[in-house]
Chains A and B, each alone.
Chain A
Amino acid sequence: GAVVSQHPSWVICKSGTSVKIECRSLDFQATTMFWYRQFPKQSLMLMATSNEGSKATYEQGVEKDKFLINHASLTLSTLTVTSAHPEDSSFYICSASWGRSTDTQYFGPGTRLTVL
């Protein structure tokens, strides 16, 4: 099956610093990548949708200047949390899909971000 990786799996950073999370599709070309955030015991909340070579589309309430998304190639998307604060601590998950016909998204293992 399709494999999506994320790096790092766990990161701890100081308040005010920026953190970059990578999402890679290892065995397929992802035309679309999604970034989700999950708080404890809650659902996955879609943050943004990115298509290769174009600007990401952010969901309502998500600050695009704080959560920078770059989808530079068909196998790599990055999420940068800028000037991180403790309230940004969360589990960030990416997913990747190609076209519409497959109707599924393949998820990465997630990245646990802790901001001190």
Chain B
Amino acid sequence: DQQVKQNSPSLSVQEGRISILNCDYTNSMFDYFLWYKKYPAEGPTFLISISSIKDKNEDGRFTVFLNKSAKHLSLHIVPSQPGDSAVYFCAARPMEYGNKLVFGAGTILRVKS
């Protein structure tokens, strides 16, 4: 049972335009959501997070939106840069399990120059 789903395996965007990566979840007990960025043969690096009590969090070019009623979150990158090309993982934390994270399958983002 995949509790965190990233239905788009890949996304291609032109440099300077907006990248929107989507994530859906099924467990209403998730209380914290995170996005990680991963380059090949490297570990994921933390990008941005959002608590379930908020609906938006912004950090520079990155904004995460959370729609609790739809159990959906999205990561917006604007403007997109070629260096943003990587795999993006959505992760969620069940409130009763400390720091344990449940990851989605990832979305490959390619930003074309």
Contacts and interface: CB of A to CB of B under 8 A. Distances in A.
A103 B43 contact: no
Given A43-B105, A46-B101, A103 B32 contact: yes
Given A103-B32, A104-B46, A107-B43, A44 B103 contact: yes
B30 interface: no
SS class, residues of chain A in contact with chain B: strand
Contacts of A100: 98-99
Interface in B20-58: 32, 34, 36, 41-46, 49
Nearest to B100: A49
B11 to A, nearest CB: 15
Nearest to B102: A46
A106 interface: yes
Given A43-B104, A44-B89, A107 B49 contact: no
Interface residues of B, number: 22
Contacts of B46: 104-106
Contacts of A8: none
Interface of B: 9, 32, 34, 36, 41-46, 49, 89, 93, 98-106
Contacts of B42: 109-110
A78 interface: no
A93 B42 CA distance: 9
A41 B98 CA distance: 27
16 contacts: A32-B98, A32-B99, A34-B99, A34-B101, A43-B104, A43-B106, A46-B102, A46-B103, A91-B41, A95-B43, A100-B98, A104-B49, A105-B101, A106-B46, A107-B36, A112-B41
